[in-house]
Amino acid sequence: MTRSPATITAITSTPDGPRSLVIAIITNLGSTQNRAQKNWIDSHVADEPDVTQIYTSGPGDIHAALSQAAAIKSDVIVVNGGDGTADLVFGALLNHKLFAIIPAVALLSAGKTNMTAAAWSFGGDKVAAIKRILAARRDGTLLDHVTHRPILAVAAGNDRPPLRGAFMGAADVVDGILFCRKHIYPMKLPNALSHSLAIGLLLWRGLFAGAMAKPMEMRWNEGAGENGAFFFVSATTLDELVVGLSPQPDNGDGPLHYLSLRAGPGALFAAMPKLITKKLTQGLGRVVRRTNTVTLSFDGAYTLDGELFEATRAHPLTVSANDTLPFIQIPRVEPI
């Protein structure tokens, strides 16, 4: 992951009346949807008191942006970016203790996948989302919509702070992400179609290229576990994944959902009915369970909410979810 010098521009509304909730909007200009509409949010916040918008130009700006948000004593952080931007915000809030009291977080869907925003905050139309946020602040109900969610910590056994996120995946799922970035996403297809094509590619690979799966070893809560060649391995705190897939663990305790699917046509064919119904339960060649921690030992790439990192057996990954953040999620009001 490259780091760029901080390049931050802030737009602050000046209040005429008493202090309301202070909102800092962290806008990542490099996120998928913001590249095409860089200033889409400006007109919606121009007349709002105590709203500061902080434009960032890359991952290296996020810490400085959160420091600025802390300096103005923000009560709410609105993340106008994708899943990767959200993860960096989670890391700044939890690893670096910038705030005396951690602010509530609202996630807008301004990236490509937006899996975390859809599950925990504001999926769909980002314009409608910011309007709902501002309307709730004006009527004094914004913080009534806060729910605490457990955040992943992915530690590699070194002195660096853990990576933060909501979905960690390894095995052939990573190859699917790489293929999407190189061949599917540039086609500018609708998100649902892009993800469906990616899943189709993964299924084809699992059926006909199982010998390419890399050996892995996993341990739950530093005890029992499994090892071998896997088509898919993940640890997540999300209740719903891409295209509506939902893990349904029936054993274990803890905030983590652990999912694995072994390589080979037998396990994949057995999983097909579950993929069709979008309810992932334990069965032949697959494990779906809860756990407090999972330790993964393997060589190769893994993903944290779409961002790619490298793992080695010399430094096994330990995934936990002991920390939480407060998220704002306002239900849509359907017209009668």
Chain segment 288-313, per-residue pLDDT in tens? 999 999 999 999 899 999 899 999 99
The model's confidence at residue 244, banded by pLDDT at 50, 70 and 90, is: confident
CA separation, residue 304 to residues 90, 112, 295, 297 (Å): 12, 14, 15, 16
Instruction: Please name each of the domains of the chain with its CATH number.
Output: 9-150 (3.40.50.10330), 167-304 (2.60.200)
- Residues 116-152: pLDDT tens digits? 999 999 999 999 999 999 999 999 999 999 999 999 9
Mean pLDDT of 310-332: 95
3-state secondary structure of 189: coil
Contact indicator for 107, 52 with CB cutoff of 8 Å: no
The model's confidence at residue 336, banded by pLDDT at 50, 70 and 90, is: low
**Residue 36 or residue 287, greater confidence:** 287
Query: Is the model's pLDDT at 335 over the cut of 90?
Result: no
The model's confidence at residue 44, banded by pLDDT at 50, 70 and 90, is: very high
| Sign of the C-alpha dihedral computed for residues 9, 91, 122 and 187 taken in this order | positive
Mean pLDDT of 246-262: 92
Q: Residue 103: what pLDDT?
A: 98
Q: How many residues does the chain have?
A: 336
Quick one: angle between helices 265-277 and 191-208, nearest 10? 160
Query: Is the model's pLDDT at 14 over the cut of 50?
Result: no
Mean pLDDT of the chain: 87
**Residue 162 or residue 31, greater confidence:** 162
| Sign of the C-alpha dihedral computed for residues 85, 96, 150 and 199 taken in this order | positive
Quick one: angle between helices 83-95 and 62-71, nearest 10? 60
Query: Is the model's pLDDT at 71 over the cut of 80?
Result: yes
DSSP string, 273-333: HHHHHTEE--BTTEEEEEESEEEEE-SEEEEETTEEEEEBTTB-EEEEEEEEEEEE-PPP-
Which residues neighbour 101 within 8 Å (Cβ) at sequence distance 6 or greater? none
Q: How large a percentage of the chain has pLDDT more than 90? A: 58
Q: CA 90, CA 149: separation in Å to the nearest integer?
A: 11
- Residues 187-235: pLDDT tens digits? 877 767 877 787 777 777 777 765 567 789 999 997 899 999 898 899 9
Contact indicator for 234, 317 with CB cutoff of 8 Å: no
Least confident span in 164-168, 194-198, 271-275: 194-198
Single-letter residue type at 308? L
**Residue 205 or residue 315, greater confidence:** 315
